[in-house]
Amino acid sequence: MDRKLALVTGASAGIGAAFARIFASHGYDVALTARRTDRLEALAAEIRNRYGVETLTVSADLAEPEVPGQILDHLTTHGRSVDALVNNAGYGLTGAYSETLWSDQAAFIQVMMTAPSELAHRVLDGMRQRGFGRIVNVASLAGLLPGSSGHTLYGATKAYMIRFSQSLHVELAGDGIHVTALCPGLTWSEFHDVNGTREQFSASTPPWLWMGADEVAATGYEAVEANRAICIPGAPNKTIAVIAKAIPDDWALALMASQSARLRKG
């Protein structure tokens, strides 16, 4: 098979689906994985018809520890290796930390940190042998900001993905493997619908803070091709990141506490 293969997790909608289309538009075959089989099959058919590339689908839940290996084994049985990996799968877990079940938090850590780390680890040897690889870890602007109440581990896991990406970026310099942490802010996707915060965020944030999933993914693709370790799409998000880094931690925490309280009140 002459075409390279891009594996996209959380590919059934939003940023993941946008990444799948972008890689296909650049001549990659795509492997799509998510939990919703019907959505995956519909996207796979669309991409095949539109771009004339091969598509593979794997319906799986990354909260299950054995799934990363199963996904790659499935691709191996089809004679394929991963040339580009987009670790996009993720969600938000709402509620005060002490009031949630640990089993839910453990599954969250598995999806947000362990699974993407394992997938990257498993594909790197082949990328090194071929002298080519692209890894996009979809993090978040939240990983660059002080913590806030509720969604307690969300910012923490995204901060991990940023530092993980930076370390891989340095470690793999000269190997032909590009690694980028994509750090979007508010994005029009199903993320806030799934965790029930759409109305709160829409009412409390101005429209100009929001970006479309296609725009975010396109910016991320350009960044990994340019081998930039961190990509913050959108001028407003870049400004927020700079301000958060510049002001004292106590001030930043106070601002986040105020914002959290405003969101809770709707």
**What are the residue numbers of the active site?**
154
Cβ contacts of 170 within 8 Å, gap of 6 or more: 229
Compute and round to an integer the Cα radius of gyration of the chain: 18
> Which structure tokens are listed for 115?
């699974």
Sign of the torsion formed by the C-alpha atoms of 142, 147, 150 and 154: positive
AA letter at 261: A
Cβ contacts of 56 within 8 Å, gap of 6 or more: 5, 29, 30, 31, 32, 44, 74, 75, 78, 80
